[in-house]
Structure 1
Amino acid sequence: MKRLMYLAFLFFTVVASAQMKKNNLLNWHTNLEEAQAISKENDKPILLYFTGSDWCAPCKMLKEDFFESPKFKEKAKDLVLVVIDYPRKVDLLSQKQLDYNKTVIAQYNKQQTFPKILMLNPRGKELGKISGYSPSRDTSEHFKFLDEHL
Structure 2
Amino acid sequence: MRNFLFFILFFPSILVLSQEEDTLHWLTNLEEAQKIAKKQDKSILVYFNGSDWCAPCKMLKEDFFNSEEFQQKAENLVLVMIDYPRRVDIISEAQMEYNKQVMEKYNAEKTFPKLLGLNYKGKVLAHISGYSPLRDTTHHFHFIEKILQ
Confirm or deny: 8 A CA contact 2:45 2:77 kept in the other structure.
yes
Q: Does 1:134 align with 2:132?
A: yes
1:72 aligns with one of 70, 73, 87: 70
**Aligned residue number for residue 61 of structure 2:** 63
Q: Deviating runs (4+, > 6 A) in structure 1?
A: none
Residue correspondences, number: 141
1:1-29, CA deviations, whole angstroms, 9 ceiling, x for partnerless residues? Answer: xx9xx9xxx8xx88xx59x8499611100
Structure 1 residues 60, 22: CA separation in 2 closer, same or farther (over 3 Å shift)? closer
Gaps of 5+ in 2: none
For 1:43 and 1:92, how far apart are their aligned partners in 2? 32
**Aligned residue number for residue 113 of structure 2:** 115
TM-score by length of structure 2 reads 0.86
Gaps of 5+ in 1: none
1:45 aligns with one of 43, 46, 52: 43
1:47-103, CA deviations, whole angstroms, 9 ceiling, x for partnerless residues? Answer: 000010111110110011000110100000000000000000011110010000000
For 1:67 and 1:126, how far apart are their aligned partners in 2? 21
For 1:75 and 1:148, how far apart are their aligned partners in 2? 12
For 2:85 and 2:51, how far apart are their aligned partners in 1? 6
1:148 aligns with one of 138, 146, 149: 146
Matches within 5 A, 1:28-43: 28-43=26-41
For 2:19 and 2:75, how far apart are their aligned partners in 1? 16
TM-score by length of structure 1 reads 0.86
Confirm or deny: 8 A CA contact 2:22 2:66 kept in the other structure.
no
Structure 1 residues 24, 50: CA separation in 2 closer, same or farther (over 3 Å shift)? closer
Cα RMSD, aligned residues only: 2.3
Structure 1 residue 148 displacement after superposition: 1.6
Structure 1 residue 147 displacement after superposition: 1.0
Structure 1 residue 123 displacement after superposition: 0.6
Instruction: Tell me the amino acid that sits aligned with residue 39 of structure 1.
Output: A
